[in-house]
Amino acid sequence: MTMPAAFIGHGNPMNALETNRYTEAWRAFGRSVPRPRAILVVSAHWYINATAVTAMPRPRTIHDFFGFPQELFDVSYPAPGLPSLVDEISDIVKPTWVGADVDSWGIDHGTWSVLVHAFPDADIPVAQLSINADKPFDYHLALGARLAPLRESGVLILGSGNVVHNLAGVSRDMPDAGFDWAQRFDSDAKDTMLDDPLNAARLDAHRDFRTAVPTPDHFLPLLYLAGLAGASRQGADVLVDGYTYGSLSMTAYTLGMPADPARRTGAPAARIPADLPPDSVNI
């Protein structure tokens, strides 16, 4: 059986503590997929100058943010690692070099804020693949495509970021809405992911790209799902969509698991604590 794959718009880390229409969609996704042998996550928050895979037997839970309530810092996601996965990945993506990270990273909030809902028992091995900041969009799209054989061996591949992620543009008066430019870019990205995912790397030519994606870290995980979709000659499906604070898209996609999009009813995405400037807390 070919394992599904997904991209999750994770929003701010407070979603880990809340139940809303997005976290309910993540939970429904976790319940619907076959039990994975391992989960490989491409998180926006491991954005470094190298391509590497975590290879420790017990990855630590990383609280890579500032100023949030203690309850969030108390969250632990004690999933095991799978050190052998780095060798599997290295073999299938040759000649691309992939390093083994045995001690510097772990499971960051781009990963655990989603997995606490999707796989709350934390009993499935988890590894992260870094985003190489030195590489162009086509590199990430192609690397995603080359990871496709992992799906045949029971590995669930997840991208975690946000299609639209402009923290400097956050409006606290728009907790459940998006600016016109955010909606335009997210809508056109959606058309691309559903109909022509291999063209996702060309979204940097969109008129709203610079506003919607002022930095590439949260957008790049989408290209890994786009690459996987292209390799399987399929379009993606929408798991759930919507906006928060005007300048963030919460859209999530699945691959190989067609389903009706989650209803746009229920609670909006988690609020950012009122006394925090969003563009300085690493969310």
Reported as a single tens digit per residue, the pLDDT across 69-87 is: 999 999 999 999 999 999 9
Residue 276: per-residue pLDDT = 65
- How far is it, in rounded angstroms, from Cα 241 to Cα 234? 20
Residue 282: per-residue pLDDT = 66
Contact 202, 262 (CB under 8 A): no
Residue 66: per-residue pLDDT = 86
Residue with tokens 């060798």, as numbered in its chain: 87
- How far is it, in rounded angstroms, from Cα 75 to Cα 235? 35
Residue-wise pLDDT for 212-243, tens only, equals 999 999 999 999 999 999 999 999 999 999 99
pLDDT-flagged residues of the chain (< 50):
none
Class of domain 5-163+215-241+249-280: alpha beta
* 139 Cα distance to chain centroid: 17
- How far is it, in rounded angstroms, from Cα 163 to Cα 189? 8
